[in-house]
Structure 1
Amino acid sequence: MTVLRVAVAGASGRMGKMLIEAIANADDMVLAGALDVAGSPAIGTDAAAALGKPCGVLITSDLAVALTDAEFLIDFTRPEGTLKHLEYCAAHGVKMIIGTTGFDEAGKAAIAEAAKKTAIVFAPNMSVGVNVTLKLLEMAAKSFASGYDIEIIEAHHRHKVDAPSGTALKMGEVIASALGRDLNEVGVFAREGVTGERDPSSIGFATIRGGDIVGDHTVLFAGIGERVEISHKSSSRVTYAHGSLRAARFLSDKANGLFDMYDVLGLN
């Protein structure tokens, strides 16, 4: 059995720890590197110490050291950090699984360019359930193309720094594409004061931040006399970790190219 050598960025964060635990429990993977920002109190500590099973991999802020023996880097950090990691990975042939959200168009273009040199799975949400939900939304949008108002409501923990969430935006993009619309033109991200009557072609977004909510997303198709709600609720980050490992396995035989979770799950 081939063992995949995986490094994790943001190793001391909530998602990083979950990824390290998932790798430790996977029969076909081994933790090859652990990366964190300079100044983190975790620097120099064993990456799996929190699991009670030290693995001998020390958390470092040196990208070259963290990726010396790695074939893959899983990155759920911040856009500015991910883009630095991206440049190195493209130059050294390290494959990437990118779950970071909040990229601007230039950042997305940089990821597409890097994918010419190495293989990348880039998705705003690595959850298998979320990606099946996206497929359901695509189907629903085509049936609710007229006579239904579309609103996307998302909720996350108090520490999330971008809004709307990458998953909510992806839901909007999927729906808009199914309807032949451009989300940049029809997305409504704030309402206050006298807003006037709702534009029937618009797709509205509402954002909630509070507590330790892992991630809730609901799309409301509101018609006359009925409404349909399609929801996904995460109770643990473990679903993102498992999806990320599935993405790494998918990339194992890819030399380069840009893929998403639809590709990983065979939903395209």
Structure 2
Amino acid sequence: MPSTALDPLLAVDGVTVRFGGLVALSDVRLSISPGTVVGLIGPNGAGKTTLFNVLSGIVSPNEGTVSWKGSPLRGHRPHHLANLRIARTLQGLNLFANMPVLDNVIVGADRLSKVGMASMLTGLGRFQRDERRLRQRAMKALEEFGVAEFAHALPGMLPLGAQKRVALARALVADPELLLLDEPASGLSAEEVRELGEHIRSFRERMGVLLVEHHMDLVMEVCDHIVVLNFGEVIASGTPDEIRADPAVTEAYLGASAEGDNGE
């Protein structure tokens, strides 16, 4: 049965992951609907990265299912995400150091290409029209995030905040329906975090978002719903106000870090 606008885009149902004798995730459940921002928080070692890796297809759960638009995902891998219209950003950014910023963003548009990406980037064959179309799309994405001036620079020449905006442009250039953000505020200044929050709020108009983040002010400001992990288990799930008022969350996470801290 096809999904409707009210159905979750992504649903995690009873996911358990074991690494030998270690239970990294235990019966985790959450869902992300179109037009919503869901935050995933918890102290270091809570299982956030493991869950992100399950969703990305890096780790396979021992139990439970991950469903995309109502259909279980089985055996998916990171390179399948683009065709599913799922995009992600990583803590390490993963920008190609020897490739100009514009070409880095074009790589994110591979799903929209009518030709092979390798052929397009090397200029082989009669693909000029397709290349021009994707370059225009990539430039528009760079303009959206205020980094178009760096289009022909190498990523390493940019400050961290600009590199993160390039990574966002690459993630969004192919018009995903779901965006997975892995600690996008890490290392950013207060002003850059404020701008990031504005971008995330604007994403609601076109996609669902899962935000894995330590910066609590950002999470509380932009999220519609928050899921809290501790030792691999969901200990709370609710609105920002409900999470603030939950004593289990205060004990496990919020009380362990300074208010507004964006550190680990």
Specify if TM > 0.5. Answer: no
Bigger RCO of structures 1 and 2 (CA < 8 A, at least 6 apart): 2
More helix by proportion, 1 or 2?
Answer: 2
Normalised by the size of structure 1, how large is the TM-score?
A: 0.22
